[in-house]
Amino acid sequence: MPYKELITTVITTYKRPLLLKRAVNSVLQQTYPHFQISVYDNNSDDGTEELMQEFARQDKRVKYHRHPTNIGMMANYEYAFANIKTPYFSMLSDDDYLMPCFFETAIKSFEEYPKAAFVACGVGQNDGKDIVWDPLSAWKREGCYEAPDGVLEMLSSYNTLPLPTGILFQSKSVKDITPDWSEVVQLRWDSDYLLQISAQYPCVINKKLCAIFSLHENSFTGAFFSEMKNAVKLHDKYLKASERMLNRLIANPSVSDDSKIVIKEKFLKMLRNETSYHMYRYIVMKNNVAAIELMKIFQDYYPIDKKQKLLGLLARLNNTVLFQPVIGSCFLILRTLIHFYRRVKDINVRRR
């Protein structure tokens, strides 16, 4: 079969030559050969250019572009998207990597569901030692999800959103959906993009493990969420991005009014659960002031629910010297019950 580029894998990079080398090699090792790799370098000065020139010499499918200046993460992605010319494309962070089966698995799914806008495959989140989570494992089933069922499933929980590392997009289906390149939504632009697509077009879920996502504090999102543990004001930035995502979904003319109501309910429930989790964690860390402040930040965007009110009350009581021993004992009992419940649940899952 003659060589033909059907897939473009976009890799944006900045000063990570060793990780980039692993990422590029993982694409070159794909069992499906009809692809090209387009690397967009934000003006690295650490040997990245020499590395990529060598890759390009060895394999004509490797393309490399180095910006004369660092144009920033979002502008780099926007530039990369503007230069995609193939029928399919994927996004690969320079610190993540693919399993050899990814392209072949995704293309087979497209052959079964040719109208799908994207195929999402399993992505294991690696903490450096073990695979700790795969978001697709929480999905009800594999196969095709018609719009807006895909977006509703994504909003079931904050950790069910597919990771772009394991997604192959069909260019003609998503050509009319432009990612939000604004700085406001920078933290969640890829999640926003997936929600916009799946609210309008069918998507396919294939749970076969096809990629690895690296969890570490040196990545953009990893560093942000790590800082959120101690810097409560960063939640305002996160909620502002989330608010913009929700407004874009509600404004989508392709989504019916009834679906918009359900989407909004699920989106707000997900945000409230996330906020409650962080409030609880602040209280356990004995940072009650942060828990109270987080509740106030959330109230600037949306009404709080009973769970958040209760956590706010506990934080205020726990911040009072008289109640600290009582609240501390309650939390110890609560944490023990939660741990026991999770152990029992794990045992039951293993028995199935």
CATH for the 7-216 domain, from 3.90.550.10, 3.40.50.360, 3.40.47.10, 3.30.870.10? 3.90.550.10
Sequence ranges of the domains in the chain? 7-216, 229-319
Determine the Cα–Cα distance for residues 73 and 184; give it in Å rounded to an integer. 13
pLDDT of residue 327: 57
Contact 204, 143 (CB under 8 A): yes
pLDDT means per 10 residues in the chain (352 residues)? 76 96 98 97 96 97 98 96 97 97 98 97 87 91 97 89 97 94 92 96 98 81 74 92 95 93 96 94 91 96 95 87 58 64 50 40
pLDDT of residue 343: 60
On the CB side of 171, CA atoms within 13 Å amount to: 15
Other CB atoms within 10 A of residue 296 CB = 11
177-179-180 Cα angle (round to 5): 125
Q: Are strands 97-98 and 167-170 parallel, antiparallel or unpaired?
A: unpaired
pLDDT of residue 126: 85
Q: How many helices (H) and strands (E) does the chain have?
A: 13, 10
pTM (2 decimals)?
0.88
pLDDT of residue 351: 40
pLDDT of residue 340: 61
